[in-house]
Chains A and B, each alone.
Chain A
Amino acid sequence: MTGHRDVATVGLGGPVGSGKTALVQHLVPRLDDAGYDVGVIANDIMTQEDADRLRESFSDRLPPDLVAGVETGACPHTGIREDPSMNLAKIDEFTERHPELDVVLIESGGDNLAATFNPELADYFMFVISVAEGDDIPRKRGPGVTQADLLVVNKTDLAPHVDADLDVIREDAATVRGEDPTAFTDCKADEGIDAVADAIERSVLFA
């Protein structure tokens, strides 16, 4: 019987409004086009409207039963770190119905800078921040920023409008993350997404 240990898993965490959902929406077509069978789990989508919208957004790409919400009892960080059992149970459901599944993207509910993924849940963990939250986010050294396999700095198009200096973000990220990579994306213009998809492919699908 296949289960959560037989499929690659990618966790996306980050603060509310940083663009995690938009990033998932741009990653799925790329992974799908590259020939991978993809499932998507979103935590704390809150309302039925959110659930319907999520399923609708992948309707031409993924079977509806591979797009699911998992409620985390108003504890988004618990769902991805201390007790990921309900997310793992959902991945087991996915793999039972679709044993051919290659990768599951798990989008955390919006949380704070301390949110990190349990390594038994996510083989690869990316932390998504937005330039609009301030260019001092990397400097705060939150565990999400420092421990993620990939830091994604999203909404780069907004930088001039919110007085955020991308060079400062780049330098601070390099300082606090050492050798670990940082990607810059603008989901609205579909820029920088290829680098993120490549990182997933290289790190968890070819590995």
Chain B
Amino acid sequence: MNDRALLTAMRLSDSMLPVGTYTASYGIEQYLNEDEIETAAGLGDLIEGYLRGVIGPAETVALGHAHRSAAAGDLDGVFAADERLGAATLPAEFRDSSRKAGSKLLELLADTDDGAAASRSSDPADAADRTSSAGDAAGLGDVAVEGVLAEYAAACEAGRTDGHYPVALGVVCQRAGLDAREAALVNAYASVTGLLAAAQRLGRFGHTAIQSQLSGLFPAMETVCDRYHDADLTAMCSFAPLADAMGMRHERADRRLFMS
């Protein structure tokens, strides 16, 4: 990974990125409402379950397919990843949080990262070259006016596709010169830190306990990203029935500080 791609990866996985992901807990708030998480270790185990049941086999598969499709100039392939990830995500609030954050990421980049690489072609024949050299260009290029990323952002804004966060991230990372596995790690890290941060704000977990869980989850992140970043889209599945039930109960929860 070159410096520019690494900097972009850090930018996209930084909690400073203003795309509203801090408002999502993906069921963690409800687990805590129902006193289902008692210790930091229990929290870590639960999040490992998210990694192995959802972030790997659903999000990473969608992200990888979106990345490959973007590299090939195949906008329909990106739409397919969006559609299947939405279908595999049962709780309405999870879909909503993911859609909102994805759309906000695309809007943000359209507002901030234009002009730097306007000459780059969106011709699929150039895709391979673009993947390897994109990091030489500044930022993410002219997001507003050209390429699969721009077409995808326009389709999201027009309501023609959902703009789920892992899918948007896959397209953005491809554009920034990150390979699919690296992009998957960015997503896994951002997802895990988002869940841990939500738990830290709602429960009683020490900052060192949270950091221990984070580093303890690195091997699981690597494993699921290895396994699923190049998986076929049709292999996508999501299996976290208790998290799904928590997500659905959260819709009618008496106390709600998070959107999901």
Contacts and interface: CB of A to CB of B under 8 A. Distances in A.
Interface of A: 1, 44, 46-49, 70-75, 78-79, 82-86, 89
B20 A85 contact: yes
A115 to B, nearest CB: 16
20 contacts: A1-B157, A46-B255, A47-B256, A48-B253, A48-B254, A71-B23, A71-B256, A72-B22, A72-B23, A73-B25, A74-B202, A75-B22, A75-B201, A82-B16, A82-B18, A85-B18, A85-B100, A86-B20, A86-B100, A89-B20
A47 B23 contact: no
With most chain B CB atoms within 10 A of its CB, the pick from A47, A83, A85 is A85
Nearest to B97: A86
Given A71-B258, A73-B198, A86 B23 contact: yes
A31 to B, nearest CB: 28
Contacts of B254: 47-49
B104 interface: yes
Interface of B: 16, 18-20, 22-25, 100, 103-104, 108, 157, 198, 201-202, 252-259
Contacts of A48: 252-254, 256
A83 B19 contact: yes
Contacts, number: 62
Contacts of A71: 23, 256-259
Contacts of A47: 254-256
Nearest to A72: B23
A105 to B, nearest CB: 20
A74 B104 contact: no
Nearest to A44: B257
Given A47-B254, A79-B23, A83-B20, 4 more contacts: A48-B253, A82-B18, A85-B20, A89-B100
Interface of B is mostly: loop
Contacts of A46: 255-257
Contact of B201 (A74, A79, A89): A74
Given A48-B252, A74-B202, A85 B259 contact: no
A46 B253 CA distance: 10
Contacts of A89: 20, 100, 103-104
A57 to B, nearest CB: 19
B190 to A, nearest CB: 14
Contacts of B103: 89
A78 B100 CA distance: 17
Most A CB within 10 A of own CB, among B103, B252, B256: B256
Contacts of A85: 18-20, 100, 104, 108
A90 to B, nearest CB: 10
Nearest to A96: B159
A73 B256 CA distance: 9
A75 B19 CA distance: 14
Of the listed residues B23, B24, B202, the one surrounded by the most CB atoms of chain A closer than 10 A to its CB is: B23
Contact of A83 (B22, B25, B202, B259): B22
Contacts of B104: 85, 89
A73 B201 contact: yes
A89 B163 CA distance: 14
